[in-house]
Structure 1
Amino acid sequence: MPQNVRFEIPFVTPVSPHLAAARERHLRWVWNAGLVRSEAAFKEYESWDLAQAAARTYPHAGATDMVTLMNWFSLAFLFDDQFDTGKPDRSDRIAEVARELIVTPLRPAGTPPRVECPITLAWAEVWEQLADGMSLAWRGRFAASWGRFLVAHTEEIDLAARGVTLGSAAYRAFRRRTVGIHHSIDAGERSRRFEVPAQVQSHPTMIGLRDMAADTIGFMNDIHSLEREQRRGDGHNLVSVLRDERGGSWADAIDEAVRITEACLRKYLRLEAHVPAMCDELGLDDAQRDRVRMGVEAIRHWINGNYEWALNTGRYAAAKDTPAAAAEQQGRGSLDDLLAV
């Protein structure tokens, strides 16, 4: 089964020692914030174990910051599930909420959302915590990456509503935006309270590292989540795109998706080997090189941490006989409506 597909990642990454305690606090926050509104939705959300994903991708965060990062994780995943193919006007509400999520980091801290629903209210709270102590440059970079992700998300919903399918080349470029890895890597800096130097962020080597990490993670997720997206009728998946474009069996499409993913990982590793030369070229001092090292570690944490989580999360489970699975098969992405006040 696709969720059992294994990749050879030539490095290991740690898991936060705060996982258990932070998970308990996070689940309580999700319920109190109204991000799950029924017992069935809570059980489904709990099975995803997003707390584990955050603990693997941000293993060096402190205890309180770990909870903040887990809370932030919940917003993107729960928002992603709000699209309902049975309600034609749903895309308009999603776009309205997405715009609010985009502009929140651009407003003064503490500004209440103008579009109110559980997700926007929770994001205003979480953003104030995420931005705390970070420079204006980091906030702008995160906001730009976050905005591109949300715009791509609404574009994906629009494509699905119009029944538009992308070819493999167009899909691969599109997936780099919808996977949301660039702002997630930015959050890796927040998790350890450092910032990668600006001249490094704009260097082709670092740009390439971030892009190849996004491709690798996005395509791994496509493979591991295939059965879930088939239940949802979601064709925006590398495996589905390859099968539609080339014909053949699902197994053939999965094999090709694995080959493409492995090629992206190899390219990432080649770029990573050039990091010392990049530091020399830019004339970085020891302190700056240390921040670059942590920046590369943040990318590694995402590649391997997300992979390890994806192998066992209930979100991608193939055989599910739950209210959430039934909702997916009926064209509803979520048990609870989180876009209404």
Structure 2
Amino acid sequence: MSDDDSLLHPFPHRRSPHAAEAAGRHRAWLERHPLLSTDLGHTAYAHWEVVELAALGYPDAEPDELALAADLMGFYFLFDDQFDGPLGRRPAEVAVICERLTAVLHGAPPDPASPAETAFADLWARSVTGMPARWRARAAYNWEWYFASHAAEAAGRVSERPPDRDGYLVLRRGTAAMETIFDMIERLGRFDVPAAAHHHPVLRQIRQLAADIPSLSNDVRSYPKEAPTGDVNNLVMIVQRERDCSAEEACAVVTAEAQLMLGRCADLVTQLPESYRALGLDPAQRMLARRYAEGLTTWLAGYLHWEARTGRYRTA
């Protein structure tokens, strides 16, 4: 059972033994790609425990792979945070930035003067090495979805109107980058999930829940920071408007919803063996599908454990 402060679940969290080595390599990567803002030094950044998130999310990764995972986690946070200020209220400029990064996916050279572009070009090149074309195509689509969603998020800040629940889910599933994070389960493990299993309704539901639960939990923890800045893509704000209630009550509603989703996720996991049999997967294919499903729940458990302890949200 989880020891998270607010959510209970049956998925155990594990930690990679290679975290210390990955931390040193991640620091060197940040120095090569200076993504840290002028008001966020290495000491403050260390309190976010980004490498710890990678170690909990991908506990079976070898040292090289865990270093890649840590660099990816750092990129997500630092790239997203650049839009917390005035830039995040200029959607046309955000769109140009993200279009350039999307172009890198398709072979465009990064601008040497842009740490974001050089960092992402490095991450993408390391990620696709040795992976089959089907995986590369899916990963490229998911990264494009992530980048393109930031312009819509910026537009939402300008409108100062919270989206409805459906609109929130569409945009949040893009900006959360969870599909790219789940693609790395295969990349870091050096395997490829059979297409029939990857797209089976049961596994797709588990993947969606594993993506949405962290978003709901994160909305609760980040609400104190986001509400004063005009960030409207937060489910707590939407619930406040729907129910005309206090922020405290809305946080409780969102947390309860995430808890129900965790129960649904656990129920679906028990249906996977029958799904594999129905698909006629051979033993090797079943093993790959199991590794992927376990990767989803391991990431979920690791994230919730990390989120309850990281200094990234404590200051809010």
Q: TM-score range by the shorter chain?
A: over 0.9
- Show the counterpart of 1:303: 300
Identity %: 30
Change (3 A) 1:89 1:160: closer
Partner-residue secondary structure (3-state), 2:123: helix
Q: CA deviation at 1:5?
A: 4.1
Aligned residues between the structures? 313
Cα gap change, 1:183/1:40 in structure 2, threshold over 3 Å: closer, same or farther?
closer
- In the superposition, the TM-score normalised over structure 1's length comes to 0.86
1:109-168 per-residue CA deviation (whole Å, 9 max, x = no partner) reads xx5225851011111011111111111111111111221122222211111122232123
Report deviation, 1:87. 5.1
Is the 1:239–1:257 contact (alpha carbons within 8 Å) kept by the matching residues of 2?
yes
Letter in 2 for 1:163: E
Structure with higher RCO (Cα < 8 A, 6+ apart): 1
**Structure 1 letter corresponding to 2:22:** A
Contact kept in structure 2, 1:84 and 1:90, CA below 8 Å:
no
Q: Is the 8 A contact 2:146 2:174 kept in 1?
A: yes
Q: Which of residues 216, 219, 225 is equivalent to 2:216?
A: 219
Give secondary structure in 1 for the equivalent of 2:210. helix
The answer on 1:269 being equivalent to 2:272 is no
Give 1:260 shift. 1.0
CA distance in 1, matches of 2:182, 2:128: 14
Q: CA RMSD in A?
A: 2.0
Unaligned stretches of 5+ residues in structure 1: 320-341
Q: Does the Cα contact within 8 Å between 2:240 and 2:246 map onto a contact in 1?
A: yes
State the AA in 1 paired with 2:35: L
Flag the 1:40–1:221 CA change in 2: closer, same or farther, 3 A.
closer
SS at 1:13's partner residue?
coil
CA shift, 1:253, in A, is 0.6
Query: Which residue of 2 is the match for residue 170 of structure 1?
Result: 167
From the superposition, tell whether residues 88 and 29 of structure 1 become closer, same or farther in structure 2 (CA, over 3 Å).
closer
Which residues of structure 2 form unaligned runs of 5+? none
CA distance in 1: counterparts of 2:231 and 2:5, whole angstroms:
20
Q: TM-score, normalised by structure 2?
A: 0.92
1:312 aligns with 2:299: no
Deviation at 1:289, TM superposition (A): 0.6
Q: Is the 8 A contact 2:57 2:299 kept in 1?
A: yes
What is the deviation of 1:84?
Answer: 5.2
Counterpart of 1:207 in structure 2 is 204
Letter matched to residue 25 of structure 2? R
Show the counterpart of 1:243: 240
Give SS of 1:79's match: helix
Change (3 A) 1:42 1:233: farther
Q: 1:254 Cα shift?
A: 1.1
Report the secondary structure of 2:47's partner residue: helix
Q: Say if 1:83 and 1:91, in contact at 8 Å, map to a contact too.
A: no
Segment of structure 1 superposing worse, 205-214 or 111-120? 111-120
- d(CA) in 2 for partners of 1:39, 1:79: 15
Aligned match of 2:77: 77
Q: Residues 1-341 of structure 1 correspond to what in structure 2 (within 5 A)?
A: 5-36=5-36, 38=38, 40-83=40-83, 85-86=85-86, 90-107=90-107, 112-113=109-110, 116-318=113-315
Q: Note the C-alpha offset of 1:37.
A: 5.2
Deviation at 1:228, TM superposition (A): 2.4
